[in-house]
């Protein structure tokens, strides 16, 4: 599937967001599976049903294939200029009629948690969505107790739109809400 809207790379002085492709898919899937298998990363991601039982190469490849073939989604690998893998971020469910899309970010490489790379990736992703893609609205969902992520989103101007009650079953079998947050192009600085 040719996606005319896909850039070769989105970058700033520190990091690159590189779209996954047929050429890179094997290496990209391997990196995700390697880090998703780390015990700390696994704990952080356990509440996503996709990662609940750990990641497998087959399932990750199947997911990436689907993304590459999708007209309205894409995943970027977040990495240093050296090529070192940091994580992934994505544009999903792009609505070309109403000009909105959903984003997601995961810094898989725990050696670089809380060093500004989530913020930096979000900045690049929003710039691309509002700039090149001409979107009017970007939204996401976050676990209601993910204070770190919510802090970053609010710093950018995301607003809380609503609550999906008891969306995830988490540690100890309790349920937790999912927040939907969004930012409009007019709010993007």
Ligand X SMILES: CC(C)(COP(=O)(O)OP(=O)(O)OC[C@H]1O[C@@H](n2cnc3c(N)ncnc32)[C@H](O)[C@@H]1OP(=O)(O)O)[C@@H](O)C(=O)NCCC(=O)NCCS
Question: Which H or E run includes 188?
Answer: none
Residue bearing tokens 């009629």: 97
Pairwise CA distance, residues 80 & 77, whole Å? 10
Q: Does 90 interact with ligand X (rule: CB under 6 A)?
A: no
Q: Please give the full DSSP string across 5-54, using - where no structure is assigned.
A: T--S-EE-SSEEEEE--TTTHHHHHHHHHHHHTSHHHHHHHTTSGGGTT-
Closer to ligand X by Cβ: residue 136 or 146? 146
> Per rule CB under 6 A, is residue 79 in the interface with ligand X?
no
Distances from the Cα of 54 to the Cα of 35, 41, 62, 125, angstroms: 10, 10, 15, 27
Q: Which stretch binds ligand X (CB under 6 A): 15-23, 63-71, 72-80, 142-150?
A: 142-150
State the residue number with the nearest CB to ligand X: 118
- When binding is defined by CB under 6 A, the residue of 17, 20, 44, 55 that contacts ligand X is 44
Q: Does 115 bind ligand X (CB under 6 A)?
A: yes
Cβ closest to ligand X, residue 5 vs residue 38: 38
Instruction: Determine the interface stretch with ligand X among 7-15, 25-33, 149-157, 167-175 (rule: CB under 6 A).
Output: 149-157
Candidates 30-38, 55-63, 128-136, 150-158 — which segment interacts with ligand X by CB under 6 A?
150-158
- φ/ψ (deg, to 5) at 147: -60, -40
* Rounded least distance, CB 70 to ligand X, Å: 20
Using CB under 6 A as the binding rule, whether residue 52 contacts ligand X is answered as no
Minimum distance of ligand X from residue 151's CB (angstroms): 3
Piece of 14-22, 72-80, 151-159, 163-171 that binds ligand X (CB under 6 A): 151-159
- Per the CB < 8 A criterion, the answer to whether 89 and 18 are in contact is no
Nearest to ligand X of 5, 119 (CB atom): 119
Q: Which residues, listed in sequence order, are joined to residue 140 by a DSSP beta bridge?
A: 181
Interface residue list for ligand X (CB under 6 A): 44, 87, 105-107, 113-119, 142, 146-149, 151-152, 155
């Amino acid at each position: 599937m040719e996606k005319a809207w896909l850039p070769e790379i989105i970058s700033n002085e520190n990091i690159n967001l590189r779209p996954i492709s047929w050429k890179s898919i094997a290496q990209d899937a391997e990196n995700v599976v390697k880090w998703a298998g780390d015990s700390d990363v696994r704990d952080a991601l356990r509440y996503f049903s996709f990662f609940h039982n750990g990641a497998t190469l087959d399932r990750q490849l199947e997911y990436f294939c689907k993304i590459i073939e999708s007209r309205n989604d894409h995943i970027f690998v977040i990495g240093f200029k050296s090529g070192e893998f940091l994580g992934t971020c994505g544009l999903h469910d792009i609505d070309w009629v109403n000009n909105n899309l959903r984003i997601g970010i995961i810094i898989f490489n725990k050696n670089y948690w809380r060093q500004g790379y989530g913020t930096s990736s979000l900045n690049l992703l929003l710039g691309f969505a509002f700039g090149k893609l001409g979107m009017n609205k970007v939204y996401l969902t976050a676990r209601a107790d993910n204070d770190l992520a919510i802090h970053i989103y609010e710093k950018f101007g995301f607003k809380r739109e609503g609550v999906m009650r008891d969306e995830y079953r988490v540690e100890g079998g309790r349920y937790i809400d999912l927040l939907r947050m969004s930012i409009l192009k007019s709010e993007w600085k």
